[in-house]
Structure 1
Amino acid sequence: MLRHALFWLCLTQPWALLLGNLTGRLGPISADKLNQACVLKDACTCVRDDGTEINLHHLDTAPKPRFKITSDDFTIEWNPCTGLKIDDDEDIAVAVGFVESELFSFGYQKTAKFYRLNGMDMLSYNANESVTQITLLCDENVPPTFVQDSETLTPLMARYHGPCKPKSSLSTGSVILITLLVIIIVYFAIGCVVNSFLRKKTGCERIPNQTFWCGLPSLIGDGCRYTFRRLKHKSSYDEI
């Protein structure tokens, strides 16, 4: 208990005046500034009013923290989604501690809250008297980074810059090609079954629309030859 009391005394006293100035500049968060709520699904996922989603599951690296900020005065650790464990304290999202001293919880996963503030996506955590506010700068084209946004720890303000949803393993083009391939396979499979068992056909005649498919290579060849002749003919006119 004594160590915790000394921690909070050292933490709050030097920056009490700065905190008052900061609060005075920002003022209370009014209802009109909190807009486009993000409905919480779990500690690191929410759905906005427009249907888009913030999903930080790809950042989860528990039991180790995904992000760590170390300065001359203190250390900050953050892991989205799965809580960290420090001694007997569990479900920790954000932990802070002075260099060469034990870490303390600065926010629990169960207190996670997503919201919009002046057009910015925000994520906050609470733990006792401490508050952590993280600005989410969603950008799918940059690697994830986590930096402190304030000189004080009361409240702790930080900024995350990076992807806010897991990257899809398949591109749109890949999905279209796979879908087309599946349709073709199903088409030939059903056609062969129908021709074999219902129409009692054998050999190549079991292929559905056999005449069309057998003549397709010839039709493609004719089209290519026609196009080549037209281009060559146009080139001769241009030279004249």
Structure 2
Amino acid sequence: MDIIISGLLFMILLCRFDITLGKQCVKHDNCICVFDDDSGMIDLSSIGRTDGTPYFLDIPSSTDDFQYSYNPCGSFDEVSCIGVAACQYSPYQFIGYDIGVPDKVSFNYDGLNVIAQYSSADGVRNSFVTLLCDPGATSPGLDVTGELETTKYYMTLTAAAACPVPSPFPSLSSSSGLSGGSVLLIIFFVLLAVYIAAGVAFNKFKRGANGKELVPNLGFWATLPGLIKDGTRFVLSKVCKGRVTYEPV
């Protein structure tokens, strides 16, 4: 029974942190992703050019000899890069490589920032653009790390447009099925019901218990409020006073 209790308490902790574990930024279009917890959206449309030229042109890399061009949302052409969102350009060979097209973009939230991932038309190369929020940025900036791994390219876009803003779109969380926390809560209550039913049956038919003695692990549940109280006092004394005081025994 103690193992079951531990499992139930673990499920409660997992449910408590559901928002952090499950949050994602779901693609709405090539410019926008919407957070599935209704906390807003990221909209790059203000810095995505539509005239066939990149917003960022031939930015040098900090790790290789190539230059990189990038345009959120829309496509551009540069030498042999045709209809791309990101291009790797060699100023020595005068050749460009498709490292991402706008239609093949996905958005991922790593707990701190949204990362826009672009795949090339043939699916071989991938660019990862970290969207760094800076509400005070007067103009967006692009830092290019370059090709850290073969066919994988890394950049950081710093801009006010990378900051979450309120979303006018319908709630994604209400139409996307059960969240991770909902599933965990269902599992928790099912396990709780099984635990109580199995414990009562065991105490009644195997131990011949009656009344409150039918409650499984009665001693544990009777002492639990006191344990919680003592634990709370201990934590508060550490946080609020910077020291722990104990009552004399």
Instruction: State TM-score, norm by structure 2.
Output: 0.48
Of the three residues 68, 71, 75, the one matched with 1:83 is 75
Of the three residues 137, 156, 160, the one matched with 2:157 is 160
Report deviation, 1:51.
3.8
Of the three residues 54, 70, 78, the one matched with 2:60 is 70
Q: Distance in 1 between matches of 2:41 and 2:111?
A: 18
Report deviation, 1:77.
0.3
- For each residue in 1:145-204, what CA deviation from the matched residue of structure 2 results, as whole angstroms up to 9, or x when unmatched? 0001356363111101111269x9xxxxxxxxxxxxxxxxxxxxxxxxxxxxxxxxxxxx
Matching residue's letter, 2:153 = L
Contact map agreement 2:115 2:129 (CA 8 A) in 1: yes
Q: Distance in 2 between matches of 1:66 and 1:102?
A: 19
Report deviation, 1:38.
1.3
Corresponding position of 1:203: none
Contact map agreement 1:125 1:131 (CA 8 A) in 2: yes
Corresponding position of 1:125: 118
Corresponding position of 1:173: none
> RMSD of the TM alignment (CA)?
2.8
Alignment of 1:71-220 (within 5 A): 73-86=65-78, 90-100=82-92, 101-127=94-120, 128-142=123-137, 143-150=139-146, 152=148, 154=150, 155-164=152-161
Larger deviation: 62-71 or 105-114? Answer: 62-71
Q: Distance in 2 between matches of 1:137 and 1:162?
A: 7
Structure 1's unaligned 5+ residue stretches are: 1-32, 169-240
Secondary structure at 1:42's aligned position in 2?
Answer: coil
Larger deviation: 95-104 or 157-166? Answer: 157-166
Residues 1:111 and 1:131: Cα distance change in structure 2 (over 3 Å): same
Q: Which runs of 4+ in 1 moved over 6 A?
A: none
Q: Distance in 1 between matches of 2:115 and 2:30?
A: 13
Q: Distance in 2 between matches of 1:145 and 1:88?
A: 25
Matching residue's letter, 2:100 = G
Contact map agreement 1:144 1:160 (CA 8 A) in 2: yes
Q: Distance in 2 between matches of 1:66 and 1:89?
A: 15
Contact map agreement 2:80 2:97 (CA 8 A) in 1: no
- For each residue in 1:67-102, what CA deviation from the matched residue of structure 2 results, as whole angstroms up to 9, or x when unmatched? 131357111000011111346764311000211412
Contact map agreement 1:149 1:157 (CA 8 A) in 2: yes
Residues 1:151 and 1:126: Cα distance change in structure 2 (over 3 Å): closer
Corresponding position of 1:55: 43
Residues 1:75 and 1:129: Cα distance change in structure 2 (over 3 Å): same
Contact map agreement 1:34 1:117 (CA 8 A) in 2: no
Contact map agreement 2:80 2:96 (CA 8 A) in 1: no
Asked which structure has the greater RCO (Cα within 8 Å, sep 6+), the reply is 2
Matching residue's letter, 1:137 = L
Residues 1:76 and 1:114: Cα distance change in structure 2 (over 3 Å): same
Residues 1:86 and 1:150: Cα distance change in structure 2 (over 3 Å): closer
Larger Rg: 1
Q: Distance in 1 between matches of 2:136 and 2:116?
A: 21
Matching residue's letter, 2:118 = Y
Secondary structure at 2:89's aligned position in 1?
Answer: strand
Q: Distance in 2 between matches of 1:122 and 1:39?
A: 11
Residues 1:41 and 1:149: Cα distance change in structure 2 (over 3 Å): same
Secondary structure at 2:103's aligned position in 1?
Answer: helix
